[in-house]
Structure 1
Amino acid sequence: MPDHRGPATDADVASWVAGLGLPGLADIHVHFLPEPVLAKVWAYFDAHGWSEGGDWPIRYRLPEQERLAVARSLGLRAVPALTYAHKPGMAAWLNAWCADFAQRVPDAVPSGTFYPEPEAADYVPEAIEAGVRLFKTHVTVGDFDPTDPLLDPVWSVLQDAGTPVVLHAGSGPHPGRHTGPAPVAALLARFPRLVLVIAHLGMPEHHEFADLAEQYAGVHLDTTMAGTDYVEARSPLPSGYLSRLRDLQHKVVLGADFPNIPYPYAHQLQALARWDLGEDWMRDVLWHNGARLMRLADHGDQASSAAAGSGR
């Protein structure tokens, strides 16, 4: 039986996960980006952090091959390359980079992004046709309303394809002009079959995004940074929320934000273990739900059962 407190160190993660009877981790929130973009992301964290410069030290500030080696040593069975655009003309270039990443990294999850621009109506379906299984977009960084009419054809094709989108729409750690649950609720009212994975459990609007997960079959929540000491000191989970996560067992997905985290990866798993929601809950969250969404070949019958329950 695995230690109920979670893995003590990164070196213990793989064996702890195996103790749960899982083949590995299906982490849906992992960032691999072009080196110049990643350098700018890290520089932003260095300068701004959560509330002041220096309070968000990048734990895994490593060259790409070393980061891949760490991810694999932790037991990540697949490696998403979540990117996001902040200006017109950037998404297509990022998608080309992601396609190259997927070609040279055999365990990559083919990933993509988009931005509200006329070209998105072409490059998103092209990416899906080319095998992209996961998209990421960031309302704060992109500074756009998800209901922007330029995105209508994008949401339509994503809805029809059932391709998941990891969507950072919560107002934490820094609110934007279009963050919060209201724009996402308006989007879902128009495209109710979208498969959305709300990053960071929608922090700090946890309950409001849980409402959407309960209302819409395709809305999921990822655990990125949730429950960690770092976040609990700044934006703690609200009262009564863990019982909702227990009820949403088949719609909560492991996310960690590797490599851009200010603590060891193992601490994310410790944080989830502290919630004490049970081993079955943990198995679904760490593996079955993410493996189903990312279409990992060996996600197994239990993941199919989770899919059947995803309308809860």
Structure 2
Amino acid sequence: MGGMNDHREASADPVPAVSEEAGEVRRFWAGLGLPGLIDVHTHFMPERVLRKVWDYFDAGGSLVGGREWPITYREEEAERTALLRGFGVRAFTAMLYPHKPGMAEWLNGWAAGFARRTPDCLHTATLYPEPGVERYVRDAVEAGARVFKAHVQVGAYDPADERLRPVWGLLAEAGVPVVMHCGSGPAPGEHTGPGPVARLLARHPRLRLIVAHLGMPEYEDFLGLAERYEEVRLDTTMAFTDFSEEFMPFPRRALPRLAALGDRVLLGSDFPNIPYPYPHQLRAMERLDLGADWLRAVCHDNAAKLFAVA
């Protein structure tokens, strides 16, 4: 895996390598006849929070499975947005999440400001099971939030927590999608896995839930939930890559099911917190050999329809 980063580490000037990456990404989507990409799983958050996230990755913390996890795109905020635009990403998100009470509303305030100054970012918000959550989620929706992030692993909460019941109902009624990290990868948590999500969906079957990372490693269980609930979608974040296949491989027997759900799978990358160059995710999906129509839908058209991206 280290070889994939050599072109960034070997040169004192990263511009040629970034330009080469941008060219590769653009050739990918142009070859599919697309106007660009829509990436529903990218991370932007207050700088001091993001630096703490990077420190955690650098230390190989338990929530990343203790694995070596180099951050490929450790640039400043303006450079990171420029990179995505250079790749031809037409719309992206600011996936941010609290790990304790009293943090979500503050993060939502930051995200609203980021969306105002970054028009190609889908206004993102987050939540936590705590007093006042219904109020600040409603405020975020009324302020124009277009997608929410819920991180069951980091937040260490049950998505079926009673304190969140009115929130899920509110978001289902408003039709606002929620990207949820609920699978047990890269390391399991007390409330990760398909069980809590199944309980949530039994109560709120119209919730527009986007299962992050295809639910790795419980891929097939989460495919089953998508087959059962028509508003459940999955994002591709880190799935199929060499990094993930080493320890959480996608079962090849499930590829026909993934193909059949081609209208409800969305491109996600985890940029900038990925241990390989951005194009690798795209090529990893391409080598599944599910066809150009599937790739066009996943990389652009499904998200364009869901988020009304012109």
TM > 0.5: yes
Residue in structure 2 matching 1:240, options 245, 250, 253: 253
Counterpart of 2:66 in structure 1 is 52
Counterpart of 2:221 in structure 1 is 208
Write the letter of the residue equivalent to 1:101.
F
2: CA distance, partners of 1:267 / 1:239? 19
Counterpart of 2:28 in structure 1 is 16
Write the letter of the residue equivalent to 2:229.
Y
Write the letter of the residue equivalent to 1:209.
F
Q: Which moved more, 1:43-52 or 1:81-90?
A: 43-52
2: CA distance, partners of 1:93 / 1:48? 27
Q: Quick check: 1:256–1:268 contact (8 Å CA) kept in 2?
A: yes
Counterpart of 1:263 in structure 2 is 276
Counterpart of 1:281 in structure 2 is 294
Q: CA RMSD in A?
A: 1.1
1: CA distance, partners of 2:66 / 2:151? 21
Is the counterpart of residue 27 in structure 1 residue 49 in structure 2? no
Counterpart of 2:202 in structure 1 is 189
Q: Quick check: 1:28–1:294 contact (8 Å CA) kept in 2?
A: no
1:179-218 CA-to-partner distances (Å, cap 9, x unmatched) read 0000000000000100000000000000000000000011
Instruction: Give the drift of 1:239.
Output: 3.7
1:199-257 CA-to-partner distances (Å, cap 9, x unmatched) read 00000000000000000011001000000001101111124111111010101110000
Aligned pairs for 1:48-197 within 5 A: 48=60, 50-52=64-66, 55-197=68-210
Instruction: Give the drift of 1:51.
Output: 3.8
What is the SS of the residue equivalent to 2:24? helix
1: CA distance, partners of 2:272 / 2:54? 10
Q: Could you state the TM-score of these two structures normalised by the residue count of structure 2?
A: 0.91
Q: Quick check: 1:14–1:75 contact (8 Å CA) kept in 2?
A: yes
Counterpart of 1:309 in structure 2 is none
Instruction: Give the drift of 1:79.
Output: 2.5
Instruction: Give the drift of 1:295.
Output: 2.4
1:28-66 CA-to-partner distances (Å, cap 9, x unmatched) read 00100100110011011100164436x110000000000
How many pairs does the alignment contain?
A: 289
Gaps of 5+ in 2: 1-19
2: CA distance, partners of 1:10 / 1:47? 29
What is the SS of the residue equivalent to 2:125? strand
1:48-106 CA-to-partner distances (Å, cap 9, x unmatched) read 164436x1100000000000110101111012111111111100000000001011112
2: CA distance, partners of 1:254 / 1:40? 26
Q: Which moved more, 1:247-256 or 1:235-244?
A: 235-244
Q: Quick check: 1:223–1:253 contact (8 Å CA) kept in 2?
A: yes
Q: Could you state the TM-score of these two structures normalised by the residue count of structure 1?
A: 0.91
Write the letter of the residue equivalent to 2:158.
D
Counterpart of 1:217 in structure 2 is 230
1: CA distance, partners of 2:308 / 2:100? 30
